[in-house]
Amino acid sequence: MNAWLSARQQAQSVGFVPTMGALHEGHLSLIDRAKKENDLAVCSIFINPTQFNDPADLAKYPRTVEQDLHLLLQRQCDVVFLPEVQDIYSDPASQQRTYDLGTLDARWEGANRPGHFQGVCMVVQRLLEIIPSHRLYLGQKDFQQFLIIQHMVSNLLHGPIAVIPCPIVREPDGLAMSSRNLRLTPQERSESRVIAEALHLIQRSIPAISFDEALAKGRLHLQSASTLQHIDYLALINAEDLSPVAHYEAAKTILAIAAVQFPSARLIDNIVVKGQLGI
């Protein structure tokens, strides 16, 4: 893959979309954008074991490679990279790398999934070593991941790669598309719409009411889903550094973020409530 792309890289720009497969319209919107803005769109499908802190989550992660390849062909993705674990981590040193992420991985997904973002950085660095990319396309759905990879690429790898956040693609009822949605039972799937609804409720409520009141309203709405087991977090944060914000004037760009546990899957989502992400 590296030799093939390097031979073409002189003349052609490469837009890269890393994924873990079980592709949906969210992934495909990133492919469409990579195709539009580059000579070659490259997609990788690799379920990276180093970013799973829960072995059961790794074992249950959906695998639909044949269907993925069909969708990528339909969308005219130019190159698909389907490595095995030994292709990515053949050198044991590549699994020993650590990344100074400052406070970016201290909260939210970082706090709930210890080691997750170290594993994400590990695989993205390896993929970028193999796939010489001009632009890297990431979904805003995993906003903390986007911020961490942007930090890694510009401050730790010093690569001339543009990291581009892409808008969240949603189901008709508002649920953010995710490979993990496939695991939900019909009742969980139906009730999971409360996540996007709660985020919209918060977005609509502020700044007319206080942040605490808006979050309490959102929390109550989440709890209206009988199958919801646990709210890992529901928060209003500064989009620049992920720190919680207490009022509207405290930051230029503010996101409402949520992570909730249903019996069959843990889901995350977010929405911009002030400013814009420059997408």
- Residues with a catalytic annotation lie at 27
Choose which of 31, 127, 176, 184 interacts with ligand AMP (CB under 6 A). Answer: 176
C-alpha torsion angle, residues 224, 226, 228, 230 (rounded to 10): 80
Nearer of residues 205 and 270 to ligand AMP, judged by Cβ? 270
Which region among 87-95, 162-170, 185-193, 220-228 touches ligand AMP (by CB under 6 A)?
A: 162-170
In whole angstroms, give the CA distance from residue 34 to residue 136: 8
166 makes contact with ligand AMP (CB under 6 A): yes
Q: Does 105 bind ligand AMP (CB under 6 A)?
A: no
Per-residue contact flags (x/-) with ligand AMP for residues 121 to 140, judged by CB under 6 A: -----------------xx-
What does the alpha-carbon distance between residue 273 and residue 256 come to, in Å, rounded to a whole number? Answer: 6
Residue from 169, 225, 236, 272 touching ligand AMP (CB under 6 A): that is: 169
Q: What angle do CA 57, 59, 60 make, to 5 degrees?
A: 65
**Nearest alpha-carbon partner for 205 in 167, 236, 162, 172:** 236
Whether the Cβ atoms of residue 81 and residue 130 lie closer than 8 Å to each other: yes
Compare residues 83 and 214 and give the one whose CB is closer to ligand AMP: 83
Angle at 30 between CA 135 and CA 266, to 5 degrees: 115
The smaller minimum CB distance to ligand AMP, of residues 5 and 34, is found at 34
Q: Is 142 in the site for ligand AMP (CB under 6 A)?
A: yes
Q: CB under 6 A: which stretch of 93-101, 173-181, 199-207, 260-268 binds ligand AMP?
A: 173-181
